Amino acid sequence: MLEGLQHAHKCYQHAQADRPIPAADLAWLGVLLTGVLVRDISYTLYRQYGTHIARRLWIDVTRTIDPSYAAAPATILAFLALHHGETTLARYAAERALQAEPNYPFARLILATLPYGIPPAESDAELDDLVKTITEQATRTPDLAQPALPTPPNLGSHT
């Protein structure tokens, strides 16, 4: 998870400096975000960099990443938007995640909650608890922090 966290910081710093993320860094971010805990901890960094920077980062990543890796960053964007009262952006981003991966559970959950609303932005204490929980989970089940690479298509046998 440490590599994913460091790489997420690097990408946030590009957004903070208003620089595009280099293609190789963007591709690696997409791979790292397939680790559920890397995705979740990357979301929590918005507090350090600010909602405006996080919003810009995840919009840019969702727009430019290889479409097969868009589910995680689009879901981060959807969750960020939802927690800051931007329901239209939350819906758009969750739907974008489902275009990339139709059964992505977190995106489905976000879409299911939209009609009911949730209170905007969690408190600092709640976010600290979330970071602690994610870190503990990564210690107990490190496989959740590992990238889950897509299965390559079966191109037939070459005999």
Confirm if 111 and 82 have CB atoms less than 8 A apart.
Answer: no
Note the pLDDT of residue 149: 56
Would you say how long the chain is, in residues? Answer: 159
Domains in the chain, number = 1
pLDDT higher than threshold 90 for residue 71: yes
In a domain, 47, yes or no: yes
Distance (Å, rounded) from C-alpha 119 to C-alpha 107?
18
The CATH number of the domain holding residue 66 is 1.25.40
Confidence category of residue 133, pLDDT binned at 50, 70, 90: low
Average per-residue pLDDT for the chain: 83
Q: Tell me the H-state helices in the chain.
A: 2-16, 23-32, 36-44, 46-49, 51-64, 71-83, 87-100, 105-113, 124-140
Note the pLDDT of residue 83: 85
Tokens 């690479």, located at residue? 149
In a domain, 83, yes or no: yes
Mean per-residue pLDDT, 82-101: 94
Distance (Å, rounded) from C-alpha 138 to C-alpha 30?
19
Note the pLDDT of residue 2: 75
In a domain, 52, yes or no: yes
Identify the domain containing residue 136 by its residue range.
2-141
In a domain, 51, yes or no: yes
Model pLDDT for residues 16-46, shown as the tens digit of each residue: 999 999 999 999 999 999 998 888 889 889 9
Q: At what angle do helices 51-64 and 71-83 cross, to 10 degrees?
A: 150
Confirm if 122 and 83 have CB atoms less than 8 A apart.
Answer: yes
- Residue 51: closest CA among 2, 84, 8: 84
In a domain, 81, yes or no: yes
The amino acid at residue 91 is R
